[in-house]
Structures are given as C-alpha cells and as structure tokens.
Amino acid sequence: MREVAVLGIGQTKFGELWDRSFREIGIEAGLEALVDAKLSSADLGALYLGNMASGTLLDQEHIAPLILDYAGLAGRHLPAMRVEGGGASGALALHQGYLAVASGLYDFVVVGGAEKLTDVPDSAAAGITSSAADHEWEVVFGATLPGLWALIARRHMHLFGTTREDLARVAVHDHEMGSRNPNAHYRNRISLEQVVGASPVAEPLGMLDCAPLSDGAAAVVLGPLDVARRHTDTPIRIAASQVATDTMALQHRDDLTTLASTVVAGRRAFEQARRAPKDVRVAEIHDAYTISALLALEDLGFAEKGRAGPDFASGRFGLRGDLTVNPSGGLKAQGRPFGAVGVAQVVEIVRQLRGEAKDRQVPGATLGLAHDVGGTGATSVVHLLERVP
Amino acid sequence: MSIARFWRETPRRYNLGGSKCTSCGTVYFPPRAVCPVCTHHRQSIEKMVPFQLSGEGTVLSFTVVHDAAEGFEMQAPYVLALVKTPEGPVLTGQVVDVRPEEVGIGFKVRATFRKLREEGRAGVIHYGYKFAPSEESTAAPPLGPAAAGPPTEAAARDRATS
Amino acid sequence: MKAGIVSYGAYVPRYRITPREIGQVWGTDGDAMGQGLNVFRKSVPSPDEDTITISTEALRTALVRGAIDPQQIGAIYVGSESHPYAVKPTATVVAQAVGATPNLTAADFEFACKAGTAAIQTCLGLVGAEMIRYGVAIGTDTSQGAPGDALEYSASAGGAAFVLGRERVICRVERTLSYTTDTPDFWRREGQKYPSHGGRFTGEPAYFRHVTECAHRIMEASGTSPKDYAHVVFHQPNGKFPQRVGKQLGFGDAQMRYGLVTPFIGNTYSGAALIGLANVLDRARPGERILMVGYGSGAGSDAFDLETTDEIERYDRSFGRPVQWYLDHGVELSYAVYAKFRGKIRMGGE
C-alpha cells in the first residue's frame, strides 16, 4: 500500500442554493479541486461520489457518471461510482478513493460529496434524511433523527449530569466559527440563551441544537504522496482512513451514550497513524445535533466519558484551546448537505493544515482529524490528516 | 410504504413476536435469523425460535417530539421512548395517554395497540404497538365533578375524606 | 341455554370533553344541554385510536381475565357504525392482533347502536350449536355528531368485548329475543361523514317503543317481572332515555345505577349497553339476575335475560381496568383540541 495525499480541495458555498442544480454544484467543487491540484482531467483515474439520497431527493439515481458527463468527461469513459452510508456518505467515498490510490489501481482520483436538500419540501427532506435510521423499527414508530439523538442526549444527561447549557455551548461555538467561514450556511453568532430558548424540536434538543438541511458540494483530489510535491507546495498526507459500523437501530445498543462505531474507527485510525488523541490539534467532528459533538469528543478520546460538556465549557475546544473543534462551523453552522459533509470536513482540515484558514486558522496545526457519522452511528468514519514536513 | 412491506411485519408489530436463540437463550426483537452473541454465531442459524414479548417495560430514555415524523403530525408533541422489556430487548415507540412531564427514566409502561399511520385518506391504515402507562403508573388524573354534573365516585370519596 | 358469558373487557379512551365546552363554541348553554341529556362528559378518542384499536384493547383484557387461549376462538364479530374501513373488516385486524388467526370466522356487524348485541346473539348460536368453542362479540364505536348538532354533546368512543362459551360461564344467558321494525329514526348514508336523525322522531316511535316492547316480551317469555332483576341495562343514547324507559317499565334507581354509564362517558353507540353490562359484571355477585335491552336505530332491540353464576367468584376481575376507573378518570380537552383529534379541522392538501 502506498501513501496517499490530498492534492487539491474544492467546495461550494453551503446553504439554500435555490438557483443552482445538483449538477452545477457537483461540477463546481470537483473542478475547483482539480485546478487546486494543478491536475489535468486527462490524469484522472476515477471518481467517487458521496451522496445519501439523490433518488428520493431528486428522482435521480446513477449520479456518478452524470456528474462526469456534465464536467465534460464522458468521452474519457472513467470509472465512477456513488458511495452511500447515510450522513457519512462523503467520508465513506473518501475511504474508497483512498483505498484506490493506496492500492496503486489509480494514481489520481476525485472524491466528491454532494447533496441537494432544498429541491423537496422541508417536511419531505426531514422524512428522507430519517431513512438513515432504521425505517422499519424506528421511523415507522414515530422516530425522527433529532428524536433519536434526543434519546441519546437524555440518557447522557441522566448518567453524567450533562446539562442543557452543556449542549447549547456546542451550537454557540459552531456559530462563532461559522461567522468566520464565508462558505457557511449560517454566519450569525448566537447566544447561550438563544439556543436554550429556541423552540423545541425533540426535547431536550431545540431548533438551534440541530444542524440545518443544506445544499452543497465539496471535493478533494487524491494522489500518491511520492509525487505530491509536483502538484502542491503543502501536501497533506492521509495518515489514517478508517470505517467502523454498528447496529442500525439505537435500540440494539448496550450503551446508548457511546457510538461504538466511532470508538472503534477512532482507535483503528490512531493505531494506523501511530498517533494519539493528544497529538491532534484540530478536528472536524460530527455535530449534526449538539449532543453528537459531545459524544464524538468522548468516543474519540478527546474527553473523558461523561466529561465533554464541562470540558467544552472550559474552553478546551475553542479556537485558542488545546484542541480546536469544528473551525468550519461544523454541520451546525457550516451546514449539513448530507453526502457533502464528510468531504467538506476534510477540505477544512486541509485548509487548516496548509495554514489557509484565515481568521479561523488554528495556530500550529500539523495533525487534524475528521469524523463523520451516518444515522445514529451505524457507520462512523475517521480520517487523520497530517501536514508533510 | 408498500402494503406488503408493512403487512409482512404485522406479527411483530401487532403482537411483539420476537425470537429466541436456543443456543444461548438471548431474546431478540425484531426477530433475528442469526444470534449476534453466540461465539460461533453461524451455529445459531435455524436455531432461532419464535418468542413473544409480554409487552411490559420501563423507559430507558425518552424525548418529547415537537417536529413530528411524517404521519404523526396530529399527535405532536408526542413522547418517544426507548423501552426496556423484562425479556431483554429494547423497543422504540411512542408513549401515549400520558402528560409528557409524567414520563421519566424508569417509568413503567405496557404495550398498547394503536394506529401508527395512514397511507393518506384513501390508503391502508397501519397498526402496531405503542406504549401506555402501566396500571401502577398514573395514566389519567381523577376527574372532578363536571360543571353541574353528577359526582363521580372518586370525587365523592375525595369529599368523604376531606 | 348452554352458552353464556365466559369473560369480558371494556375500554374507553382517555380524553373527555364537557357539554359546557362544546356549547361555548356554538353559543348554546352547554350546561343546560348536559342537564337535559344527563350527559356531563363524553369520551374522545386520541388521533391514533379507532374502532379497531379500542376493540383490540377490550378483547385483550377479556382474554387475560378469562385465561383464554386465543387459538380456541372460533368467531370474532365486531359491531360498530364507525368501522375504519368501509370495505375491509375490522374483525380481521382484531383477530390478528389478539393472536386468534387463522382458524376462525370473522365479520363486521352494523346495526346502528345494537350491532354489538347482535354479535352476542350470533355467537350464542354458534357456541350453543357447538360449532365453535369460544365466540367473541365486540361492540365499539368512535361515533361523531355533526358540529353543532345535538348529537355532538353525546357521541363518544368506547367499547366492550364479550367472550361467549359453554365452559366456566360467569354469566348465563337464560334467554335472548329481539324486536325489529323498519323505523328510519337515525341513519348515515354511504360517504357521509356525520349521521342524520329524525329529531324527536328518535324518541317515542323509535327508542321507547322498541325497548319497551322488547323488554315486555322477554319478561313475559321468562315469566319474570322487574323485581326479579338485580340490575337492568338499557341502550343509553343519552342519560335521560334509559332512566325514563326504566321507570316506565317499573325499574328503580338501584337496579339502573350501574348499568348507566353514559352520563360520564357519553354515548358510545355500539359500546353503550355493553360497557354498562361490563360495569354491572365488575360488581356482580353470584346469582344476580340482569336484564339488558339494547337498541339500534333503523330499528330494533335485542333483550337478554342473564344470571351470574358461582364461577364469577373465581373469575379474575382484577386484571385490567374496571369500568368505574374509566368513569372517574380522564383528561378534559378544549373544543379546539377535540376538533383536531376528531378530524374536524380542514388540513392543508385536503
């Protein structure tokens, strides 16, 4: 297996992109990444496209060749495939692209992630995204994605004394960071009182505890590390790419306050990279709901079990803390275009490691982590990225 | 949802029909074809037997859903819970006939039979389990005498003791 | 008669609304309306309840109380005028939900408010003829009155299930007979959401004539008179009619007391007389004679001459909730929430 590097990144604005189609945003992010990698399309080996629900959102399956076609590459007859893993689709696509380059099968691949959630009514979008949970044994009985995460939150509060304010601080932080990110869906700062006082969605979670339904696309170009300097001054090595799964439904977990898939994917990733959580300076973690972020911090080893809330309150995870979390604004503020999320997280980590993140730059970051989750944790994906000295 | 897709699960959704591994005794709901806890789990294939849950349970965690799932809009806000059964499995379901503030972790419930959703006004109606407060939990407060109405027995008892 | 009641269960939804609350919406003195009808609360089903779910709850209680193997049930008949489907039986869902399928016959009955008593008679025939071991008769409704109509003050929801059999009979059926004519006092045409009625025509020529005639005939056939009965249960479209018909027939308040539940839960239509009978059985001691006279518009009465047996002392009445609990407990709704629950609000997309 050869070492793999990120050579180029691209991302559209996240948000309500009313005047832009799925094809347009997919192509924009991909071409931006190719240009960034100083790569000609003639060098491309394959496309991996992370997307959760184009069939139900757009009545369009078979989207990987579609994007290549509209990028003008149909005549190259490249292999292209869509990768699906609920909200973790983008990160899973990256894992596939990583394997393809590492194996030596392809030299350069584009990994894209794209989702268009505003082309259906909001109520339909909520129903479609809840298909990342177990439809037959959760959704049929009245469960929603925020509802399931609320069940986790309530249990966490019960066992560890996590407070409503502990949850709210995640959203406050995310919006603070989002205000510094021109691509973010939400760029407004919010107060603790606003989060706590927002209208309830699934108690204890309120409207401002939940990431929005966004449109957006992101892409990276991957290639062999040994030729990376030809394409970029700051190659970013993929130090680890790990996927883990767990039971589909929350109800089958022994421990409701831990995502075992995240614990395992994280452990495998640190083993693969021969690094430890303390080495990580910047992390993009799954914060579709504020409770998701607290769980992720504990499950990835950044906080002791049950302590993520107080740790968050201490400022440890802020821009000047010892581990900066979600400098992009996370899913909460940057936005949540399901299939694009996992790729966008890596795009942000690359920006941070390259030192290109401007007024949200985490100082001295050389090792970064990206963590994405599908549903309530049936899939977790962890990537570790490292600036090559 | 297609008719067949719901219909084939009715034994589970109507009657809490699960399965039990005859190798290790673990009970599953919904039923499983393979036992995840048996070390040699392939040996459990074809050794899973039907097993019906009693419908008793306690709330392991709960939420009050305001942003309702599709088809549940008329019931919002509603309580959604993870219910631990004495047989082992945990089930996801609504807790009905209760004020949300009455529900807590450890609240005792029992399965009840309700409408889950309708496929529109002309479509089929799906039924299945929900949970209601068990008889030891308070399910409905005693009613006072209605305006100008005859006293209920409970109200009469209250008066007798006050 | 060899067949009798082996077990029973009743169920009434949790929500209530008062005539005062309804009257406020229509500019009517609801209290006076309630006094006039002798109805002080009526039950309201949750949006997720219907005749199928109520019937299932009632029958599940009955099966546990009587320790009855559902696979021994040979027939399930559900009487209602509010079956959720116009075509597709209520009874098959109930049968599946209690684990009685597939070796049984099942059907839905409709005869306004006496479909449940008609189901009991049918089961008695099958059980008595030894065609089946147990027959289940259920009377349940989630009836609706048109907004503002007098019926709105009483039409409610609830039901009761009776298991009929030959062994371990807790209440013998000494005799049953019916009185039936073509009397159009109340009806609902196909496709109509709310029923129509003949106003005062529902009184003398309809309810009173049929109930009185039927009661007289069964007592004559049995050689009994009102004083022989510990309890009497009538169909109770409101709280007044049964009291008046009882007095006319010569029954006293003590005999009518437990059979009258409508003042507390409203008129549960097919469930009304059966919930009244369940309330009586909740309290009955061995050897008590009970007269039940149902009534259904359109029109007919079914009368039952019943007597509790020693077996009722051994029967486990402690499982599930007694009828009195439902009379005493509930949560009162505003008219707005009631209208939402009962589908009276026109939603988007309709």
Contact A203 B30 (CB under 8 A): no
| Residue of chain B nearest A200, judged by CA positions | B66
Are C132 and C176 in a shared domain?
A: no
Number of H helices, E strands in chain C: 13, 14
Are C143 and C127 in a shared domain?
A: yes
SS3 C201: helix
- Average pLDDT of chain B, as a whole number: 87
Give me the sign of the Cα torsion angle A357, A361, A363, A365: negative
Catalytic residue among C57, C81, C152, C288: C81
| Nearest neighbour of B80 by CB, restricted to A147, A158, A256 | A147
Q: What domain count does chain C have?
A: 2
d(CA A186, CA C51): 48
Are C281 and C186 in a shared domain?
A: yes
* pLDDT classification of B154: cutoffs 50, 70, 90: low
Long-range contacts of B29-36 (CB under 8 A, 24+ apart): B29/B53, B29/B85, B29/B87, B29/B89, B29/B91, B30/A136, B30/A137
SS3 C267: strand
Residue C153 per-residue DSSP state: G
CA angle in degrees (0–180, nearest 5) for A208-A214-A218: 125
SS3 B34: coil
- What per-residue confidence (pLDDT) applies to B162? 35
B80 chain-C contacts, CB cut-off 8 A: none
Mean pLDDT (whole number) for B7-36? 93
CATH superfamily label, A131-210+239-387 = Thiolase/Chalcone synthase (3.40.47.10)
Q: Containing domain of residue C54, as a range?
A: 4-170+318-341
pLDDT digits (tens, 9 = 90+) for A271-309: 999 999 999 999 999 999 999 999 999 999 999 999 999
Mean pLDDT (whole number) for A161-182? 98
CA angle in degrees (0–180, nearest 5) for C237-C243-C245: 85
- Whether residue C346 lies inside any domain: the answer is no
Structural contact between residues C22 and B147, judged by C-beta atoms closer than 8 angstroms: no
Mean pLDDT (whole number) for C280-288? 98
Tokens encoding C26: 């229509």
B19 chain-A contacts, CB cut-off 8 A: none
Structural contact between residues B110 and B134, judged by C-beta atoms closer than 8 angstroms: yes
Mean pLDDT (whole number) for C311-325? 95
Long-range contacts of B67-72 (CB under 8 A, 24+ apart): B67/A126, B67/A144, B67/A146, B67/A201, B67/A202, B68/A142, B68/A144, B69/A127, B69/A130, B69/A139, B69/A142, B69/A143, B69/A144, B69/A147, B70/A123, B70/A126, B70/A127, B70/B117, B71/B116, B71/B117, B71/B118, B72/A142, B72/B117
B112 chain-C contacts, CB cut-off 8 A: 53, 57
Structural contact between residues A376 and A255, judged by C-beta atoms closer than 8 angstroms: no
B146 chain-C contacts, CB cut-off 8 A: 18, 20, 34, 40-41
- For residue C148, the domain's CATH number is 3.40.47.10
d(CA A353, CA A222): 16
Tokens encoding C106: 């099942």
Residue B159 has pLDDT above 50, yes or no: no
- B47 and chain C: CB distance < 8 Å anywhere? no
Closest CA–CA distance from residue B65 to any residue of chain C (Å)? 16
C81 has catalytic annotation: yes
C88 chain-B contacts, CB cut-off 8 A: 124
| Residue of chain B nearest A129, judged by CA positions | B69
Are C8 and C82 in a shared domain?
A: yes
- What per-residue confidence (pLDDT) applies to A351? 98
Q: Where are the domains of chain A?
A: 4-122+214-236, 131-210+239-387
Q: Which helix (H) or strand (E) holds A386?
A: strand A379-387
- What per-residue confidence (pLDDT) applies to B157? 47
Closest CA–CA distance from residue A181 to any residue of chain B (Å)? 29
The size of chain B, in residues, is 162
C191 chain-B contacts, CB cut-off 8 A: none
Percent with pLDDT over 90 in chain A:
98
Contact C40 B146 (CB under 8 A): yes
Are C129 and C177 in a shared domain?
A: no
d(CA C297, CA C235): 11
Q: What domain count does chain B have?
A: 1
- What per-residue confidence (pLDDT) applies to B151? 53
d(CA C288, CA B12): 42
Q: Which helix (H) or strand (E) holds B98?
A: none
Are C51 and C71 in a shared domain?
A: yes
B140 chain-C contacts, CB cut-off 8 A: 14, 329-331
- Whether residue B7 lies inside any domain: the answer is no
Percent with pLDDT over 70 in chain B:
85
- What per-residue confidence (pLDDT) applies to B158? 45
d(CA A132, CA A339): 12
Angle at which helices C19-26 and C30-37 pack, to 10 degrees?
Answer: 130
| Nearest neighbour of B70 by CB, restricted to A123, A202, A249 | A123
C220 has catalytic annotation: no
Are C76 and C189 in a shared domain?
A: no
Residue B161 has pLDDT above 50, yes or no: no
Residue A73 per-residue DSSP state: -
Mean pLDDT (whole number) for C20-33? 96
Are C96 and C140 in a shared domain?
A: yes
- For chain A, positions 211-250, list CB contacts with chain B under 8 A: 249-250
Are C160 and C45 in a shared domain?
A: yes
Percent with pLDDT over 70 in chain A:
100
pLDDT digits (tens, 9 = 90+) for B124-138: 999 999 999 998 776
Tokens encoding B85: 């059964």
Are C93 and C222 in a shared domain?
A: no
d(CA B37, CA B44): 10
- For residue B70, the domain's CATH number is 2.40.50
Tokens encoding C30: 């609801």
- What per-residue confidence (pLDDT) applies to B156? 46
Question: Pairing mode, if any, of strands A324-325 and A282-284?
Answer: parallel
- Whether residue B74 lies inside any domain: the answer is yes
Are C58 and C157 in a shared domain?
A: yes
Contact A141 B126 (CB under 8 A): no
Q: Which helix (H) or strand (E) holds A372?
A: strand A367-374
Structural contact between residues C295 and C303, judged by C-beta atoms closer than 8 angstroms: no
Q: State the chains in contact with A (3 or more Cβ–Cβ pairs under 8 Å).
A: B
pLDDT digits (tens, 9 = 90+) for C207-230: 999 999 999 999 999 999 999 999
pLDDT digits (tens, 9 = 90+) for A65-124: 999 999 999 999 999 999 999 999 999 999 999 999 999 999 999 999 999 999 999 889
ipTM (interface predicted TM): 0.95
Angle at which helices A145-160 and A290-299 pack, to 10 degrees?
Answer: 60
| Residue of chain A nearest B73, judged by CA positions | A142
| Nearest neighbour of B143 by CB, restricted to C35, C320, C328 | C328
pLDDT digits (tens, 9 = 90+) for C102-119: 999 999 999 999 999 999
Phi, psi of B19 (to 5 degrees): -140, 160
Closest CA to C70 of C39, C93, C99: C99
* pLDDT classification of C348: cutoffs 50, 70, 90: confident
DSSP A28-46: HHHHHHHHHTT--GGG--E
d(CA A209, CA A76): 45
pLDDT digits (tens, 9 = 90+) for A186-229: 999 999 999 999 999 999 999 999 999 999 999 999 999 999 99
Q: State the chains in contact with C (3 or more Cβ–Cβ pairs under 8 Å).
A: B
What pTM does this model have?
A: 0.95
Distances (CA, A) of B3 to A31, A34, B123, B124, C25: 45, 47, 9, 7, 41
Identity of the residue numbered A152: I
Closest CA–CA distance from residue A155 to any residue of chain B (Å)? 6
Are C114 and C150 in a shared domain?
A: yes
pLDDT digits (tens, 9 = 90+) for C43-92: 999 999 999 999 999 999 999 999 999 999 999 999 999 999 999 999 99
On whether the A4-122+214-236 domain is CATH 3.40.47.10, my answer is yes
SS3 B47: coil
- What per-residue confidence (pLDDT) applies to B44? 74
Contact B72 A142 (CB under 8 A): yes
| Nearest neighbour of B115 by CB, restricted to C50, C60, C340 | C50
Distances (CA, A) of C170 to A125, C6, C66: 56, 5, 10
- What per-residue confidence (pLDDT) applies to A44? 96
Structural contact between residues A175 and A294, judged by C-beta atoms closer than 8 angstroms: no
- Whether residue C348 lies inside any domain: the answer is no
Q: Containing domain of residue B84, as a range?
A: 55-138
Tokens encoding C133: 């071991």
d(CA C41, CA C327): 9
